[in-house]
Structure 1
Amino acid sequence: MSQLSRRLSRLLNMVPYFAANPGISAAEAAAELGVTTTQLMSDLNQLWMCGLPGYGPGDLIDLSFSEESIQVTFSAGIDRPLRLTSTEATALLVALRSLVEMPGTADPTAVQGAIAKIESAAGTAAGGTHAAPPVEPEDPIAATVRAAVGRGRALDLTYFSASRDAVTRRVVDPVRIVLMDNHSYLQAWCRQAEGVRMFRFDRIDAATELDEPARPPQEALDDSHVTDLFHDDDTLPQARLAVAADHAWVMDYYPMTDVRVAADGSIEASMRYGSLEWMARLMAGFGLGVRVLGPEELSVAVRSRASAALAAYSQSADGSTSG
């Protein structure tokens, strides 16, 4: 929807809103409508010039307004808020239900309340006859992170880093919560790394809101960081991997960079790791699905693990035969 269309929709809904709340102040109305007082007063001045074709007395919307009090004296027939079509209501319901499943994005109780209201207003055309599923209590960690973002407070996080195979504790300055690839992430300035990092909600083991304001530097507020899910830490060793087409799902679970997809669907990609032993164990577990192209020390470690596993199976088989 264009900016002009959004404003038109807002203007048309303001008339029944102010008709239902006569005498409300500009500050109160702006807070409820989610706009600034300046924007609200601009909208009211625009509304004053709207009305039915002809645009003469008795056709234009008439308002009496100041920052202290706003009142509709003539609505020009716009007495009810705009109605959602069944398609719009269904799309909105689907989006709201997906929010309930994404930790940290919204208060599940509030979302479920909005769903109930939309279903009641939209009726059966939007699926309103289906019983709403029970709302699960919000995860305490997700609630803490969401609250800190909303209040602009710093966070003390305990976080599992997949690339390092380690749990670390760090203080971060939250920027925003984003949804990518069906996961919720906290985008924040990490004071330890002195850079923007993305923290996946299901890997945050503990979160404590600190009694100090978040102060991310200006560079951290750049929207370009939103898609930078996995910062390439050049202090860590890097493996070059060949991923079979039927193991492409690996890319959804581990941070990969410099990805190249071949015509047959196979993939070459690079992955940082913090522990040679952990990386060798991970690669051995993928079998033929993922091959190590380098470095050599990692290839040797994977072959050693595979050989040890084969030897263990041979010993087991020999023991069974002799028994």
Structure 2
Amino acid sequence: MTTSPAGARDQVARLLTLVPFLHSRGKVRLEDAAEALGVPPEQVLADLKVLLMCGLPGGYPDDLIDVDLDALEEPEGDGVIRVTNADYLARPLRLTPTEATAIIVALRALRGSADGDTREVVDRALAKLEAAAAHGAEAPAIDPGEAPGGPDLVRLEADLARAAADARQVRLHYFVPSRDEQSERVVDPRGIVRAHGFAYLDAWCHSAEAPRLFRLDRIQRAEVLDTPIQTEPAPPRDLGPEGLFERSADTTVVTLALEPAARWIVEYYPTDDVRPRRGGRLEVDLVVADERWLQRLLLRLAPHARVLAPSDIQERYLQAAGDTLRLYD
């Protein structure tokens, strides 16, 4: 019989529930375990037969979990589930550096495709594993590779979430991409939100005297202060499907035509819309709050980007590009 992928996943989930359930209760009748798991007794029996093939690495008889199937299948059996040779399940888990690294890499791969609820669970597990790896005497430094974030980012998110829960102010050292500068400010944190694959701190900024979103990977340093927040407590905003930006008189939607060499900006900067064109080209709508930042970005991208609209921004960009070239004459 071939087990479907969904059936295999369900069975693994039941086994992960069944083993600690049995270990904490000692002896449990087959019917009682089936009722607790919400499946027929025949399914629990099938799961127990799979459990017989599980255990410690090595695969020798003394390494595998033992289940008394006679008590469950024979007519004279009492129907009580007896699991032995599984005492190690009650001991605290100790991972070697190699095992910890493998689990962290797997969790980071899972995090990239997880939904919000699953990501919270994964982040908590990652925070614990990476903190242990960072402080353990034998644990090596973990390189998460190309996965977003890292141990420092996970710890930063946990610290900011606790500060929001405790209603304590935070001093941020933050990189402002629109002005290409570092800033320092005190904020009243409200919570962590996510959009476009990035995590943000939603907070009241006392420098701007307005609510602001701070992308976590742009926070250079965060210091949780002893002072309580000065504004009324509020939950983090629901960004919803429309994205991060609230339209105002200070923002402009700029449409760019990007050659393949400049496509990378859609991975780095939040966009309103991305429209594929022939030859790997893109048309991208950016919400721009500071034209100086846009001009610097366009000079970096030249000659692989141009402004389609508004036309006056394209004219000013061409003027800036000409002035820059004349500096080399």
TM-score relative to the length of structure 2:
0.56
The separation in 1 between residues aligned to 2:133 and 2:34, in whole angstroms, is 30
Tell me the number of residue pairs that the alignment of Structure 1 and Structure 2 aligns: 247
* CA 1:281–1:229: 2 relative to 1, 3 Å: same
Aligned ranges 1:205-244 → 2 under 5 Å: 205-210=220-225, 212=228, 215-217=233-235, 220=237, 225=240, 230-234=244-248, 235-244=250-259
Mapped partners of 2:100, 2:225: distance in 1: 39
Distance change in 2, residues 1:143/1:5 (3 Å): closer
Partner of 2:166: 153
Aligned to 1:94, which of 99, 105, 116?
Answer: 105
Q: Show the 5 A alignment for 1:231-310.
A: 231-234=245-248, 235-310=250-325
The C-alpha deviation readout for 1:138-195, integer Å capped at 9, x for no partner, is 64x864542242462345334334346564733221136x6975xx623535576557
Indicate the SS of the match to 2:328.
helix
Q: Is the 8 A contact 1:16 1:78 kept in 2?
A: no
SS of structure 1 residue aligned to 2:293 = helix
Maintained 8 Å contact 2:257/2:308: yes
For the residue of structure 2 that corresponds to 1:278, the secondary structure is helix
1:9-48 paired onto structure 2 within 5 Å: 9-16=16-23, 46=36
Partner residue in 2 for 1:186: 200
User: Kindly tell me: are residues 194 and 148 of structure 1, through their superposed partners in 2, closer, same or farther at Cα, counting changes over 3 Å?
Assistant: closer
Q: In the alignment, what sits opposite 2:79?
A: 59
Normalised TM-score (structure 1): 0.57
Question: Is the Cα contact below 8 Å between 1:175 and 1:187 reproduced in 2?
Answer: yes
TM-fit CA distance, 1:96: 4.9
**CA positional deviation for 1:205:** 3.1
Describe the SS at the equivalent of 2:16: helix
Partners of 1:239 and 1:271 within 8 A in 2: yes
Other-structure match for 1:6 = 13
Change (3 A) 1:145 1:7: same
Mapped contact 1:259–1:270 kept (Cα < 8 A): yes
The gaps in structure 2 that reach 5 residues or longer are: 1-5, 27-31, 46-68, 91-98, 111-121, 144-149
Is the contact between residue 258 and residue 269 of structure 1 (CA under 8 Å) also seen in structure 2?
Answer: yes
Relative to 1, partners in 2 of residues 1:179 and 1:133: Cα closer, same or farther, differing over 3 Å?
farther
Which secondary structure does the structure 2 equivalent of 1:231 belong to?
A: coil
Q: What value does the CA root-mean-square deviation take over the aligned residues?
A: 4.8
Letter in 1 for 2:326: A
Q: Which whole-Å CA distance do the structure 1 matches of 2:247 and 2:33 have between them?
A: 48
Task: Determine the structure 1 residue equivalent to 2:127.
Answer: 106
**Do the aligned partners of residues 310 and 134 (structure 1) sit closer, same or farther apart at CA in structure 2, a change above 3 Å counting?**
closer
Does the CA contact (< 8 Å) of 1:103 and 1:201 recur in 2? no
Give the Cα–Cα distance (whole angstroms) in 1 for the partners of residues 304 and 271 of structure 2.
Answer: 16
Measure the CA separation in 2 of the matches of 1:180 and 1:103: 17
Q: Are 1:173 and 2:190 an aligned pair?
A: yes
Q: Distance in 1 between matches of 2:17 and 2:178?
A: 46
1:243 & 1:304 partners in 2: Cα distance? Answer: 19
Provide the C-alpha distance between the structure 1 equivalents of 2:246 and 2:297, rounded to a whole number of angstroms.
19
Residue of structure 1 in register with 2:96 after alignment? none
| Alpha carbons of structure 1 residues 187 and 311: separation in structure 2 relative to 1, 3 Å | closer
Aligned-partner Cα distance in 2 for 1:291–1:97: 36
Q: Which has the higher contact order (CA 8 A, sep 6+)?
A: 1
State the Cα distance separating 1:230 from its structure 2 match.
3.8
Q: How far, CA to CA, are the matches of 1:91 and 1:229 in structure 2?
A: 34
Matched-pair contact (CA < 8 Å) for 1:163–1:274? yes
Give 1:76 shift: 4.1
